[in-house]
């Protein structure tokens, strides 16, 4: 029988911040809180526009190709996982230029992202991309 639970907040019984969810294989469980993305962002740095986001209070355009994702609710520590997709590729003459996004958890309230491409084979150049998508996993404070 289909069922629907109406609730505003889910809290674990044994541990408030820990709820198990049965996985797709119907046997192994995964942890709800650990699996939830704690922040995500679609950022157009070319036009300095945050197209959509979750748990992001603001985005700081630090410099060309570099931006800070400022969290609304801070992380517990600076060991969280930061992923970004921001690809770049073009051919100018005989030169192939390609690159992508890099990122680190800067501090509990800020994740730092840096988008670069290989401009001559021996140096990199930062670039503002119109599409940067980020996602953060880890422990909330």
Partner 1 sequence: MASILRVNTLTDASSNNSVPMATVASGSAKAWINFNGTGTIAIKDSFNVTSITDDGTGNYTITIANDMVNAFYCSNLTSQAGATAYGFGTGDNTQTASALTGIFTIQHGGATQDVSHLSASINGDLA
Judged by the rule CB under 8 A, the positions of this chain that interact with partner 1 are 2-8, 10, 13-14, 21-25, 27-28, 30-32, 34-37, 77, 79-85, 99-105, 114, 116-118, 121-124, 135, 137-139
The residue among 32 and 50 lying less far from partner 1, judged by its C-beta, is 32
Shortest Cβ distance from residue 53 to partner 1 (Å)?
17
Contacts of 39 (CB under 8 A, 6+ apart): 53, 54, 55, 56, 69, 71, 111, 134, 135, 136
Smallest distance, Å, CB 51 to partner 1? Answer: 19
Residue 26 C-beta: closest distance to partner 1, Å = 9
- Cβ contacts of residue 57 below 8 Å, gap of 6+? 70, 71, 72
**DSSP label at 140?**
B
Residue 48 beta carbon to partner 1: minimum distance, rounded to whole angstroms = 21
Of the candidates 43, 66, 65, the one whose C-alpha atom is nearest the C-alpha of residue 54 is: 43
Question: Cβ of residue 46: shortest distance to partner 1, in angstroms?
Answer: 19
Question: Residue 93: beta bridge partners?
Answer: none
Residue closer to partner 1, measured from CB, 2 or 92:
2
Instruction: Residue 76: name the closest of 17, 1, 9, 11 by CA.
Output: 17
Nearer to partner 1, 4 or 47 (CB): 4
Can you read off the two tokens belonging to residue 48?
Answer: 């300095």
């Amino acid at each position: 029988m289909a069922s629907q639970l109406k609730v505003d907040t889910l809290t674990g019984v044994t541990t408030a911040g820990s709820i198990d969810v049965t996985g797709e294989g119907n046997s192994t469980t995964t942890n709800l809180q650990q699996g939830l993305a704690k922040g995500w962002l679609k950022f157009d740095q070319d036009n300095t526009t945050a197209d959509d986001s979750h748990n992001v209070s603001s985005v700081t355009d630090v410099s060309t190709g570099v931006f800070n994702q400022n969290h609304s609710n801070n992380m517990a520590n600076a060991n969280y996982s930061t992923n970004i997709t921001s690809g770049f590729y073009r051919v100018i003459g005989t030169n192939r230029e390609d690159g992508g996004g890099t990122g680190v958890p800067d501090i509990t309230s800020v994740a730092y992202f840096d988008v670069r491409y290989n401009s001559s084979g021996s140096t990199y150049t930062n670039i503002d991309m119109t599409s940067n998508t980020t996602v953060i996993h880890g422990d909330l404070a």
